Amino acid sequence: MTNEFELIEHSKVQDIHVFLIEMHYRSTHLHMDIEVVYLLSGSLNIVTNNKKILLQKGDFIVLNSCQLHELDSKNSALLLIFQFSPKIFEAFFPQINEVYFDTTPIALETSETGRRLLENIVVASQAYFKEEEYFSLLCHGFSSIIMFDLMKLVPHKQMKEEKKDQLLLKLERIKRISDYISKHYQEKLLLSDIAKIEALSFTYLSHFFHENFGVTFQEYVNLLRCEKAKFFINSYRKYIVNHLWRLRFFGSALSK
């Protein structure tokens, strides 16, 4: 449940990154890129804007630049993720920095635009992974087409630059608070201590916390402690299972 500001390195293609990944859990984080998520199999919960969104197989969702989000799957989910920087479009579509997409699951195969968008995402992703001649040019070309389809398919609103700056300042405060809690969750934690660090009144921070985290300060701390305990228990369980499997394997091999 720690907030993380992810600085994405676009090592293969400038300002574009593609992942085909099996996801169990990704703690709360944000980044400057726009992120397009397509669920290939399983189910996935996305927590963002103080609400939990359930994605089923075949669903698609857009996460905006600087939008806090957490990913969680009870078993595992196979995701195709296409990330691209708004900087790609600034020269010919300067309004990109004011566009804010609704975070709503969409079944792409139910409309012609959705099917075309999915096809373009798949083609761009294949080019990204194959790395054939001029593949970066192909990825950038398809990114513009993908953005065009997003503007047609996904509900969105215009957010003025100053409002976006205010949002970023708020997110940075949320990140500082969450980082502090994550670092000190094993110690005695008081909201009044964080209020002093942030130079805020206790009352204001209490309201701010509940409004932006969706729970009270103490509930959040308790949830984090439970989450950490569950993580360590599961990690230990996996270690024991793997250790027993190795003992059995080598035991049967030696007996032969």
Residues 145 and 194 in one domain: no
CATH code of residue 186: 1.10.10.60
What's the pLDDT at 48? 87
Q: Does residue 234 fall inside a structural domain?
A: no
Residues 85 and 190 in one domain: no
Residues 71 and 140 in one domain: yes
pLDDT digits (tens, 9 = 90+) for 72-125: 898 889 999 999 999 999 899 988 888 999 999 999 988 999 999 999 999 999
What is the extent of the structural domain holding 79? 4-158
Residues 58 and 184 in one domain: no
Q: Does residue 128 fall inside a structural domain?
A: yes
The residue that leads in pLDDT, 35 or 247, is 35
pLDDT digits (tens, 9 = 90+) for 167-210: 778 877 887 888 888 888 888 899 999 999 999 999 999 999 88
Residues 27 and 148 in one domain: yes
- Nearest 5°: the CA angle 144, 146, 147 is 65
What's the pLDDT at 170? 80
Q: At 254, give phi and psi (nearest 5°).
A: -70, -30
pLDDT digits (tens, 9 = 90+) for 8-36: 556 689 899 999 999 888 877 777 799 99
Residues 112 and 206 in one domain: no
If you count them, how many residues does the chain have?
A: 256
Rounded to two decimals, what is the model's pTM?
A: 0.67
Please give the average per-residue pLDDT across 146-169, as a whole number.
85
Residues 57 and 119 in one domain: yes
Residues 45 and 129 in one domain: yes
Looking at the structure of the chain, the number of domains it has is 2
Residues 6+ apart with CB under 8 A from 116: 149
pLDDT band at 67, cuts 50/70/90? confident
DSSP H stretches of helix in 102-134:
112-130
Q: Does residue 235 fall inside a structural domain?
A: no
- Exposed / middle / buried, residue 113 (Cβ in 10 Å: 0-12, 13-18, 19+): middle
* β-sheet bridge partners, residue 255: none
